[in-house]
């Protein structure tokens, strides 16, 4: 009996965790621009777990990463993967925080911040970007947009949390938010 319970426990550890539908894609598009760059536009529907909502209300800043990866043309994507050592080809950092004195939420991208009266509005701003240039000029052939493919994802950056929360986040589904890779719908700019 003891061996069976040990075997069941081991099998439960090996199964992939069931991810709650906490980040979903509402828009994932890209355009090949005349200068050979790719302009990415995304929008996500994000829902925080109860643990993350509580931490946010207590003043913990939640960091999110929007990542882009080129998958086609294969030679270019392979070169970029080697150059970046298998990291995403481009990424943006978003920070979500709560301001208790004003009762507002702040979303920061780099040095730009916007304030929102509700958590719902702030969450809709996470990962929302329009015309983000993700590649250097001349990387792609603007005359062949049909041969370009890429993917994006939005995820909670656990490494951006304060150290005590990082320990809580390890192995916890409550602290794991990830949209998974979403294929971009690539259009011609012309």
Tens-digit pLDDT profile for the chain (190 aa)? 444 443 334 334 444 444 445 899 999 999 989 988 899 999 999 999 998 999 899 999 999 999 999 888 766 655 555 555 445 588 999 999 999 999 999 999 988 999 999 999 999 999 999 999 998 888 887 777 778 889 999 998 887 776 666 666 666 677 788 999 999 998 876 5
Q: Are 30 and 184 in contact (CB under 8 A)?
A: yes
Q: CA 72 to CA 74: how far, in whole Å?
A: 5
- What DSSP character marks residue 171? T
Q: In three state form, how does the secondary structure of 44-104 look?
A: EEECCCHHHHHHHHCCCCEEEEEEEEEEECHHHHHHHHHHCCCCCCEEEEEEEEEECCCCE
Pair of tokens at residue 132: 């983000």
- Identify which of 155, 121, 112, 122 has the alpha carbon closest to the alpha carbon of residue 25: 155
- Residue 88: predicted pLDDT: 57
Q: CB burial class (10 A; 0-12, 13-18, 19+) of residue 29?
A: middle
Q: CA 76 to CA 150: how far, in whole Å?
A: 12
Q: CA 29 to CA 3: how far, in whole Å?
A: 51
- Residue 163: predicted pLDDT: 67
Q: CA 26 to CA 149: how far, in whole Å?
A: 18
- Residue 159: predicted pLDDT: 77
- pTM as predicted: 0.77
């Amino acid at each position: 009996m003891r061996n069976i319970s040990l075997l069941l426990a081991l099998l439960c550890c090996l199964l992939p965790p069931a991810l709650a539908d906490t980040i979903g894609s509402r828009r994932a598009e890209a355009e090949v621009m005349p200068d050979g760059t790719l302009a990415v536009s995304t929008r996500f529907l994000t829902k925080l777990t109860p643990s993350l909502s509580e931490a946010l209300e207590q003043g913990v800043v939640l960091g999110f990463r929007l990542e882009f990866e080129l998958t086609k043309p294969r030679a270019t994507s392979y070169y970029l993967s080697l150059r970046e050592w298998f990291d995403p080809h481009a990424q943006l950092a978003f920070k979500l925080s709560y301001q208790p004195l004003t009762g507002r939420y702040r979303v920061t991208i780099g040095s730009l911040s916007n304030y929102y009266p509700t958590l719902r509005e702030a969450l809709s701003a996470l990962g929302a970007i329009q015309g983000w240039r993700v590649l250097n000029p001349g990387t792609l052939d603007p005359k062949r947009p049909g041969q370009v493919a890429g993917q994006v994802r939005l995820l909670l950056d656990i490494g951006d949390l304060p150290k005590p929360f990082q320990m809580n986040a390890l192995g916890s589904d409550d602290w794991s938010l990830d949209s998974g890779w979403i294929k971009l719908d690539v259009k011609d700019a012309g």
